[in-house]
Amino acid sequence: MCRRIFGLILERRWGYLYLHNLGVPEKWQMVDVYGLDPDLLATVPRPVLAVLLLFPCTDKYDEHKALQEAEINEKGQTVSDNVYYLKQAVTNACGTIALIHSVANNAEQIQLGDGHLKQFLDDSMALTPEERGELLQKAEGIINTHKELALEGQTEAPESDEPVNFHFVAFVEKDGTLYELDGRKAFPINHGPTARNTLLEDAAKVCQAYMKRDPDELHFTVVALTAAA
């Protein structure tokens, strides 16, 4: 779902449909972030609830992931118990997982309506990240919503084990801390203090670090979950 979801979620129309078909109220939307400099960030509607980064899966990502996890395992980090995190159990699920992370960690503000996503969150709230990932594989309502939109967009839904070239991660603010939520990593990544009104700018700095680690790659895309303009 990571590669095909590029055409479904990053286009505003598809992002709108996918979120709202899963019960997200229409007052919230996905918008493109056209650049990470202050002037372009200032054009993004507020409040920003989450930032999503799409980037190429390369050796640089895998190398950094291994080093980052090893450092955290050695030195430790603080992660709020209020962070909702799920592990990616299948290859093609990163786009859906990034959306779930974005919505689940802002559930009180979003006021999610009844539907497949609310049911999944209710069912998975008390589970471990690994158990949540396994439950997502069985969440037919969420899976079928993606497939229906893929068919409408004449985009063939990928097999669960199809190789992917791109990956999604989400950035959210929880209890005054910026967290990177990547279902392929062993745990959430604490990126230090942030606030709701600086989430976009603080997440942009982490996105820029991703880009600097892989300067030969040009296919980075940033979107934000925001209030509708």
Hey, which residues are catalytic here? 94, 167
22 Cβ neighbours under 8 A, 6+ residues apart: 99, 115, 116, 117, 142, 145
Amino acid identity for residue 131 in this structure: E
**How many degrees, rounded to 5, is the angle at CA 146 between CA 141 and CA 152?**
125
177-181 sheet: strands from edge to edge? 28-33, 221-227, 48-56, 166-174, 177-181, 189-193
Structure tokens given for 95: 């786009």
- For tokens 């291994």, the residue is 66
How far the first Cα of the chain sits from its last, in Å, is 28
> For 121, what's the count of Cα atoms within 13 Å in the CB-facing half-sphere?
25
Cα(161)–Cα(93) distance, integer angstroms = 10
Q: Residue 122 has which token pair?
A: 């209710």
